[in-house]
Amino acid sequence: MDMSRFLNFHTINEKEEIEQVYVPAAQVLEAMYNRKQGRVNVLEIGVGCGYGAALLLKGRMINKYTGIDLSDEAIREASKILPLSMNVQLVKQDSSKKFKIDFNPDLVLFIETIEHMTPKQALKTLKNIYKVISKEGVVYLTTPEKHLDQTFPNDIHYIEYTLDELIKLVHKSGFKINSHTTLVRKNGTIINVLLLQR
C-alpha cells in the first residue's frame, strides 16, 4: 500500500483529522499525569507521520515514548518531526509479535491503526498490549465505525468494525471498556473512541 497519502499533509483537513483524535488523547495523557503525579510512559501502535505524537510530546508530560510501526516509510517520516532521544524512540516492528520495549506503558495509543490489521493480528496486538501495560494503564483506541455499504479489504482498510464487533474483540483480549464516545469527521465518518483498562 502506498503510505504517502497518510504520511504527508496535503490539506488542512488531514491535519485537523489527526488533531481531532489526538486532542482527546492529550486529555487522557494529562489525567494520567495528574493521577501518577509524574510523567507518563507511552507506547504508540502505528506512528503514521508522527504529527500526533509530536503534539503530545510538547506538553512535557511524557517520561518515555516508544512508537512502533511496521512501515519503514512511516518510521522515516515520523523521525523527521519527533525529537528522537533515549526517551523518544521509534521501532520498526509487527505489533502482533512480542514488543521490543524496556518499560511498562501507562498509556497505549492505538489510534486509527486496528482497521489496517487482520482481526487475528488485531487480537494478538491487544493481547500483547495487555501483557506489557502497567497495572493502572489505559489504552486509547480509535477506529472508524464500519460502513455497511463498503467491502473489505479495500485500498485503505483491511477491515472496519461495528461497535459491537469492536467490543467483542476487546473483551477477547482481556481488556475491559472504561468508556466509549464517538467523534464525527467533517466528511461524516464516525470514529469510535474507547478507553480500555485491565
Q: Into how many domains does the chain fold? A: 1
Distance in angstroms between the alpha carbons of the first and the last residue of the chain? 34
Please provide residue 108's backbone torsions phi and psi, each rounded to the nearest 5 degrees.
-115, 125
State the pTM of this model. Answer: 0.91
Question: What percentage of residues in the chain have a pLDDT greater than 90?
Answer: 78
C-alpha 142/C-alpha 138 separation (Å) is: 13
Determine the structural domain holding residue 154 and report its residue range: 4-197
Nearest to 127 by CA among 164, 174, 91: 174
> How many C-beta atoms surround the C-beta of residue 97 within 10 A?
13
Residue 110 sits in a domain of what CATH number?
3.40.50.150
| Interval 173-197 mean pLDDT | 93
Nearest to 73 by CA among 22, 4, 23: 4
**According to the model, what pLDDT value does residue 4 have?**
42
**According to the model, what pLDDT value does residue 152 have?**
67
| Interval 146-168 mean pLDDT | 84
Residue 132 pLDDT greater than 80, yes or no: yes
Contact of 115 with 144, CB cutoff 8 Å: yes
3-state secondary structure of 127: helix
**According to the model, what pLDDT value does residue 7 have?**
44
| Interval 151-180 mean pLDDT | 91
Residue 3 pLDDT greater than 80, yes or no: no
| Interval 115-137 mean pLDDT | 97
Q: Which residues pair with 195 in a beta bridge?
A: 140, 179
Nearest to 51 by CA among 100, 2, 96, 111: 111
Contact of 50 with 77, CB cutoff 8 Å: yes
Of residues 153 and 94, the one with the higher pLDDT is: 94
3-state secondary structure of 43: strand
